[in-house]
Amino acid sequence: MATAAPTATSTAIPPMPIDPRLLTLTQWLSPAYPVGAFAWSHGLESAVGQGWVTDAESLQAWLTDVLRDGSGKADALWIRLAWQGDRSAAELDALARAWQPSRERLREAERQGAAFAQVTAEVWDLDLPPMLLPVALGDAARQMDMMIEPVIALYLQSFAGNLVSAAQRLMPLGQMAAQAVLARLAPLCAEVAAGTEGLTLDNMASCAFLSDIASMKHETLEPRLFQS
């Protein structure tokens, strides 16, 4: 007797919907977004010139300190505070300006933030006056109702990626080694982002002092490729 053929059962997982805000966030933090990040080294050029950063291992150690204990951690908290909206963006911007350890570091955050605010306000119709970059990003993310931890984590990854790219122009560092450094920093970016939960302005701190000193030394560095 003929038997019916077995019915095929699909075990495919249905596709998850893509949140368009995630695509917007990746656009904002893409190297192609016109904020001029490629022009700044965040003091790394001076650190290379001093012999403090010489290879992939020392670069990773330098960036780890910046992300975990220095300006990366501070930026992460400025982003969250701006997103929370407990203080006005203008007040946070003034505090963030006072927090910058050097003139070049201030100019870096100021010019990138102004460029980010101009483009983002125009394209997405946001109320976003010129502010330092982390404050502008946090305020824009609040207006777009984005989840804050991915915003901070992707910002930190973008920040680290720009400095890894700068290092490739400053010292012998191949593409494979550069990408390996960035990949090893990814868990730290997520960790720092998650660690900002529950923090307030009273928790603002930075102790990557050699990075700050490098940014101060940069203004007298000759010749130089970067603006900071």
Where the chain has pLDDT below 50, the residues are 1
pLDDT of residue 222: 81
pLDDT reported for residue 7: 54
Question: Is there a contact between 216 and 50 (Cβ–Cβ < 8 Å)?
Answer: no
Per-residue pLDDT, 173? 95
Q: Give the C-alpha separation, 29 to 42, whole Å.
A: 17
**Structure tokens given for 226:** 């970067």
- Model pLDDT, residue 220: 83
Do residues 80 and 200 make contact, with C-beta atoms less than 8 angstroms apart? Answer: no
Close Cβ partners of 26 (under 8 Å, ≥ 6 residues apart): 154
pLDDT digits (tens, 9 = 90+) for 127-162: 999 999 999 999 999 999 999 999 999 999 999 999
Closest CA to 33 of 119, 160, 109, 131: 119
Q: List domains and CATH numbers for the chain.
A: 56-218 (1.10.4190)
pLDDT for residue 135: 98
Quick: pLDDT tens for 33-62.
Answer: 999 998 999 999 999 999 999 999 999 999
Q: pTM for the whole thing? A: 0.91
